[in-house]
Structure formats: C-alpha cells, structure tokens
A and B are shown apart, each in its own frame.
Chain A
Amino acid sequence: MIPLSWYLIFAAALFCIGLYGVLARKNAIAILMGIELMLNAVNINLVAFWRYRAPDMIAGQAWAVMVFAVAAAEVAVGLALFISIYRTRKTIAADEINLMKW
C-alpha cells in the first residue's frame, strides 16, 4: 500500500518545479509548460484526496476533469497570443514583450 503522504510529497515537488519554470524561464512557451506542470500537480492532489479521504464522493475526479478543460483552453489562447505577438515583434521572450507597458 502506498501512503497518502507519498502522493502529496510528489505533487508538492512537481508543483515547485513548475513554479520555478514559470518564474525563471525566458521563453513564453516554456512558461506555459511550467503552468502545465503545476496544473498536473494539483490534479494529482485532487485525485489522491478523493481516493484516500472521500472515495464515495466523486467530487475529486469531477474537478480534475474541469481542470483538464481549463488547461486546454488556457494553452489554446496562450499559444494563439504568442503566435500573434511573434508575428508583430519577432520575439516571444517574456521580458521583451512590453507592448502594454508605458
């Protein structure tokens, strides 16, 4: 049997790796990848708590499905934005995108 704490520690590590990617990476697509890692860590926590703490309520899995859909929407809009920015500015480095800065 796998203790619940193993899942929690794994998800915490995955979340922190994703957070580092979001904060440190320069390329905007790499930042999106970090966000994907963080969302996956959250999903593992949701499912692990469903399985260990409340297996007769399906809420954990239902919310994980919602997170899937939100992640897909976020990636679609984000990548469309980056391609549009690349077309006008020829860069997608996050610190060079300053069109809305004044």
Chain B
Amino acid sequence: MTAVQIIFIVVAAVTLGAAIMVVTTRKLLHAAIWLILTLFGVAIFYVLLNAGFLAVAQVVIYIGAIAILMIFAIMLTRQLAIDIGPQVNRGWPWALLISLLLFGSLIWLFSNWSGVSTELPTLSSRVDPLRELGVSLVSPNAYVIPFELVSVLLLAALIGSIIVAWPRKENED
C-alpha cells in the first residue's frame, strides 16, 4: 500500500464521516460546519486527481460562499422549536432503505463493469490541464455556449433571489 493510498483512505473516511454527521446531527449550525469539513475533503480529492483549478474553486465557491451563505440563512431563520423537535420526518426508514438500495445497486453495477479496472494514464507533460480548461471554456469549438448560458443563469439567480427575498409592504397592492 503506497502513501497516496493511505492518504486516500484517511481522507475518504473523514469525509464520509463528516457527511454522515451533516445529515444526522441535530443542530443545524453544527451540520453546516460538518458540511465545510466534507467540502474540504472533496477539495483534497480534486488535488489527488490533478484538478488544481477545481480544488481552488471548491474552497473559494463552496466553502467561501455557499457554506457561509447557509450559515447566514440558518441564523436568520433561527427558531427554538426547530432544534428541539425531531429533525427527521416520519418516513425516514424508507429514506434510509432507498439510499442503501441505491448504494448496493451502484456497487453491483461497478462490479459488473470492465472499465472499473482502468489503469491511471500518465498526463503528457506537454499539455497543462489548467490552460486547456481555460481555453476550452472560451473557445467557440468547445464550451463557450454552455459557459455563457451559465453566466446568464447566475445573473438570473442573482436578480431572482433579490426579488424573492425583498421585504414586501403589506398594503401595497
């Protein structure tokens, strides 16, 4: 067993444990902090997979923006009753059963697929994945249209969330 494999197993165990804490812990604020730990673990996997840009973007976007936004929303909607009562709905055994079934069938699919034993190809030293990613996002032959669509989507989400969360006067209309 090599050092990289040991790192993988440790990071995977910590990440999955934190993910289980996210969905089971009682206090929502603690769940948000476990979520941050999970997102860090995923960022380490991006580093192991030679996707440096995604690792940095994971830390900046997910941890720096999304997780902090969630903590803000949790604090804005704080209510005593929410932390005391049961945190799961009545059908939670079904939810557990469905997730375990899905996990089992995914593992069964992988075990029947021959491509799962693909050897790790070496990245040729001539091409830089970061540069290639940047060029492909703005090149007309690659992904410029999805890239622009995503920017429009982000703008729409920005305006939409401002309008939705705008405090409304009661007797305005």
Which A residues fall within an 8 A CB radius of B?
1-10, 12-21, 23-27, 29-30, 32-34, 36-37, 40, 43-44, 47-48, 50-53, 55-56, 58-59, 61-62, 64-66, 68-77, 79-84, 86-87, 90-95
Contact = CB atoms under 8 A, between A and B. Distances in A.
B70 to A, nearest CB: 6
B135 to A, nearest CB: 8
Contacts, number: 245
B165 interface: yes
A83 B4 contact: no
Given A64-B54, A79-B69, A14 B164 contact: no
B35 A33 contact: yes
Given A21-B23, A51-B49, A65-B54, A73 B76 contact: no
Contacts of B61: 68, 71-72
B8 A24 contact: no
A2 B20 CA distance: 24
B57 A65 contact: yes
A76 to B, nearest CB: 5
Contact of B123 (A6, A55, A76, A95): A55
A36 to B, nearest CB: 7
A29 B88 contact: no
Interface of B: 2, 4-5, 8, 12, 15-16, 19-20, 22-23, 28, 31-32, 35, 38-39, 42, 45-46, 48-51, 53-54, 57-58, 61-62, 65-66, 69-70, 72-74, 76-77, 79, 82, 85-89, 91-92, 94-96, 98-100, 102-103, 106-107, 110, 115-121, 123-124, 127, 129, 132-133, 136-137, 142-143, 146-147, 150-151, 153-154, 156-158, 160-162, 164-165, 167
B45 A44 contact: yes
Nearest to B76: A83
B132 A1 contact: no
A26 B51 contact: no
Given A2-B120, A23-B91, A33-B31, A10 B153 contact: no
A24 B82 contact: no
Contacts of A83: 73, 76-77, 165
Given A13-B16, A72-B61, A62 B23 contact: no
**5 tightest A-B CB contacts, nearest first:** A21-B23, A23-B95, A73-B157, A80-B161, A24-B95
